[in-house]
Structure 1
Amino acid sequence: MTAPKHPARPRRVGRLLRILLPALIILSWLVAASFGGPLFGKVDEVSSNDRTAYLPSSSDSARVQELQTRFAGSDEIPAIVVAASDGKLTEAQRTALSEAVAATKEIPGVDDDVSPALASDDGKAVQAFVPIRSDADLGEVVTDIRAHLDDAAPSGVTVYVTGPAGFSADLVAGFAGIDGILLGVALAAVLVILVLVYRSLLLPVVVLATSMFALCTALLVVWWLAKWGVLLLSGQTQGILFILVIGAATDYALLFVSRFREALRVEEDRGRAVLSAWKGAFEPILASGGTVIAGLLCLLLSDLRSNSALGPVAAIGIVFAMLAALTLLPALLMAFGRAAFWPRRPRFDPDAVAAEGGMPTTGVWARLAGLIRRRSRVIWIATTLVLAAGTLGVLQLDASGVPQSDLVLGSSPARDGQKVLGEHFPGGSGSPVQVVVAKGSLQRAADALLADEGIDGVTVVAEDSPSGTAPVTDDGVQPVGRPGTPAPEPTVVDGDVMLQGTLTAAADSSAAEETVRRLRSALEGSDAVVGGVTATSLDTDDASLHDRALIIPVILVVIMLILMMLLRAIVAPVLLIVTTVLSFGTAMGVSALVFNGILRFPGADPAVPLYGFVFLVALGIDYNIFLMTRVREESRRHGTREGVRRGLAITGGVITSAGLVLATTFAALAVIPILFLAQLAFIVAFGVLLDTFVVRSLLVPALVHDVGRAVWWPSKLSRGER
Structure 2
Amino acid sequence: MRAAAKPSGTRSRPRNRRRVLPWAILALWVAAIALAGPLAAKLGGVQTNRAVDYLPASADSTQVAKIQDALPGGEATELVLVYHRDGGLTAADRTLAAEQTAEVARGHALTRTPSPVQSEDGTTLMYPVSSTEPGQDDDARTAFVDEVRAVAEGGGGLSVDVGGPGALNTDAQKVYKSLGGPLLYTTVAVVAILLILIYRSPLLWLVPLVVAGVADALSMAVVYGLDRGFDVTVTGQSSAVMTILVFGAGTDYALLLVSRYREELTRIDRPYDAMVAALRGCGPAVIASSGTVAAGLLCLLAADLTSSRGMGPIAAVGVLCALLAMTTLLPALLVLLGRRVFWPLVPAYGSLPKQRRSLFAAMGGSAGRRPLAVLACGGVLLGAPALGAFNLPGDLKQQDSFSSKPDSIVAMETLATAYPGRSTQPITVITPTERAGTALAKARATEGVAAVERGRSGGGWTELSVVATDRPESAGERATIEALRDFLDGSHVGGPSAQQMDAETANARDLRIVVPLVLISVLLILIALLRSLVAPLLLVAAVVAVWGASLGIGGLVFEPLLGMKGTDPGLPLLSFVFLVALGVDYGIFLMHRVREETLSGAAPTTAALTALRTTGGVIASAGLVLAATFAVLMNMPMVSLVQMGFVIAVGVLLDTFLVRTYLVTSASVALQRKIWWPGALSRTPTAPDGPREPELLTTA
Superposition TM-score, scaled by structure 2 size: 0.91
Give the stretch that moved more between structures: 412-421 or 689-698.
412-421
Residues of 2 paired with 1:575 and 1:14: CA distance? 44
3-state secondary structure, aligned to 2:658: helix
- In the TM superposition, residue 384 of structure 1 has moved relative to its aligned partner by 1.3
Q: 1:676 aligns with which of 640, 648, 652?
A: 640
User: Counterpart of 2:148 in structure 1: which amino acid?
Assistant: I
Q: Cα gap change, 1:106/1:368 in structure 2, threshold over 3 Å: closer, same or farther?
A: same
Partner of residue 611, structure 1: 574
User: Identity rate of aligned residues, in percent?
Assistant: 36
Aligned to 2:76: 76
- Report the CA distance between 1:232 and its aligned residue: 1.2
- Is the Cα contact below 8 Å between 1:71 and 1:461 reproduced in 2? no
Residue 425 of structure 1: how far off its partner (Å): 5.7
CA apart distance, 1:344: 0.4
Q: Does 1:421 align with 2:386?
A: no
Counterpart selection for 1:410 from 397, 404, 413: 404
What is residue 55 of structure 1 aligned with on the other side? 55
The structural deviation recorded for 1:328 is: 0.9
Q: Which residue of 2 aligns with 1:508?
A: 473
Give the match's secondary structure for 2:464: strand
Q: 1:382 pairs with 377, 384, 390, which one?
A: 377
1:335 aligns with 2:345: no
2:505 is equivalent to residue 542 of structure 1: yes
Whether the 8 Å contact between 2:68 and 2:76 is mirrored in structure 1 is no
Deviations 1:273-294 (A, max 9, x none): 1011101121111111111111
Find the counterpart in structure 1 of residue 443 from structure 2.
449
In structure 2, relative to structure 1, the CA distance for the partners of 1:528 and 1:426 (3 Å cut) is farther
8 Å contact kept, 1:170–1:408: no
2:463 match: secondary structure:
strand
Of the structure 1 ranges 242-251 and 575-584, higher mean CA displacement relative to structure 2 is found in 575-584
Secondary structure of 1:362's counterpart equals: coil
How does 1:4-23 map onto structure 2 within 5 Å?
5=5, 7-23=7-23
Cα contact 2:415–2:424 (8 A) shared by 1:
no
Alignment of 1:424-439 (within 5 A): 431-439=425-433
SS in 2 for 1:518: helix
Q: Give the alignment partner of residue 120 of structure 1, picking from 108, 118, 121.
A: 118
15-24 or 251-260, which moves further after superposition?
15-24
Number of the residue aligned with 1:664: 628
Q: Take 1:20 and 1:80, find their aligned partners in 2: how far apart are those partners?
A: 66
Distance 1:97 1:334, change over 3 A: same
1:303-322 pair list within 5 angstroms: 303-322=304-323
Q: Greater CA deviation, 611-620 or 590-599?
A: 590-599
Unaligned 5+ segments in structure 1 are 463-490
Structure 1 segment 443-592 matched on structure 2, within 5 A: 443-461=437-455, 491=457, 493-494=459-460, 496-523=461-488, 526-592=489-555
- Could you tell me how far apart the structure 2 residues matched to 1:718 and 1:536 are? 53
Residue 134 (structure 1) aligns with: 136
Is 1:373 aligned with 2:338? no
What is the alpha-carbon distance in structure 1 between the residues aligned to residue 555 and residue 155 of structure 2?
46
The secondary structure found in structure 1 opposite 2:452 is: strand
CA distance in 2, matches of 1:423, 1:181: 34
Q: Distance in 2 between matches of 1:513 and 1:325?
A: 50
Cα gap change, 1:184/1:439 in structure 2, threshold over 3 Å: closer, same or farther?
closer
* Partner Cα distance (1:343, 1:617) in 2: 38
Q: Structure 1 residues 437, 142: closer, same or farther in 2, change over 3 A?
A: closer
Letter aligned with residue 669 of structure 2: H
What is the Cα deviation at residue 229 of structure 1? 5.7
Partner Cα separation in structure 2 for residue 582 and residue 121 of structure 1: 51
CA contact (8 A) 2:571 2:643 kept: yes
CA distance in 2, matches of 1:148, 1:16: 71
Shift of 1:513: 1.9
- The answer for the alignment partner of 2:613 in structure 1 is 649
The Cα of 1:121 is off from its aligned counterpart by 6.2
Letter in 1 for 2:661: S
Distance 1:266 1:183, change over 3 A: same
Q: CA deviation at 1:626?
A: 0.5
**Alpha carbons 1:175, 1:672 under 8 Å: kept:** no
- Residues 640 and 721 of structure 1 are in contact (CA less than 8 Å); yes or no, is this contact kept in structure 2? no
Q: Using a 3 Å threshold, how does the CA distance of structure 1 residues 96 and 374 change in structure 2: closer, same or farther?
A: closer
Q: Which moved more, 1:126-135 or 1:32-41?
A: 32-41
Please name the residue that 1:185 is paired with: 186
1:128-167 CA-partner distances (Å, limit 9, x unpaired): 40424331414444234323322xx475532211111111
Worse-matched range after superposition: 563-572 or 400-409 = 400-409
Could you tell which deviates more after superposition, 598-607 or 453-462? 453-462
Which amino acid letter does the alignment assign opposite residue 133 of structure 1? G
Q: Is this contact kept in 2: 1:56–1:303, CA < 8 A?
A: yes
The separation in 2 between residues aligned to 1:135 and 1:428, in whole angstroms, is 31
1:720 and 1:366 map into 2 onto residues whose CA distance is: 27
Shift of 1:90: 5.6
TM-score, normalised relative to structure 1: 0.89
Summarize deviations over 1:21-61 as a string: whole Å, max 9, x none: 11121222233334545666643311111122232222211
Letter in 1 for 2:250: A
SS of the equivalent of 1:5 reads helix
Provide the rounded CA distance (Å) in 2 between the counterparts of 1:130 and 1:555: 44
Question: For structure 2, which runs of at least 5 residues remain unmatched after alignment?
Answer: 687-700
Question: Counterpart of 1:597 in 2: which secondary structure?
Answer: coil
Task: Sort the Cα spacing of 1:721 and 1:267 in 2 relative to 1 into closer, same or farther, 3 A.
Answer: farther
Letter in 2 for 1:405: Q
Q: Which residue of 1 aligns with 2:695?
A: none
Taking only aligned residues, the RMSD between alpha carbons, in angstroms, comes to 2.5
Q: 1:140 to 1:721 in 2, by over 3 A?
A: farther
In 1, are the aligned partners of 2:49 and 2:176 still within 8 Å (CA)?
no
Distance 1:408 1:706, change over 3 A: same
Cα distance in 2, alignment partners of residues 32 and 599 from structure 1? 44
3-state SS of 2:402 partner: coil
Please give the alpha-carbon distance, in whole angstroms, between the structure 2 residues aligned to 1:265 and 1:368: 27
Paired with 2:92 and 2:211, the residues of 1 have a C-alpha distance of 64
Larger mean CA deviation between 384-393 and 569-578 belongs to 384-393
Question: Which residue of structure 2 lines up, in the alignment, with residue 212 of structure 1?
Answer: 213
Return the match for 1:401 from 384, 395, 400: 395
Residues in 2 aligned to 1:653 and 1:49: alpha-carbon distance in whole angstroms: 40
- 1:672 and 1:154 map into 2 onto residues whose CA distance is 31
Between 216-225 and 251-260, report the one with greater CA deviation. Answer: 216-225
CA spacing shift, 1:72–1:511, aligned 2, 3 Å: farther
Pick which of 325-334 and 8-17 moved more: 8-17
Partner of 1:29: 29
The alpha-carbon distance between structure 1 residues 145 and 31, as it changes in their structure 2 partners (threshold 3 A), is farther
Give the drift of 1:364: 1.5
Does residue 1:344 correspond to 2:345, yes or no? yes
Equivalent residue letter for 2:171: D
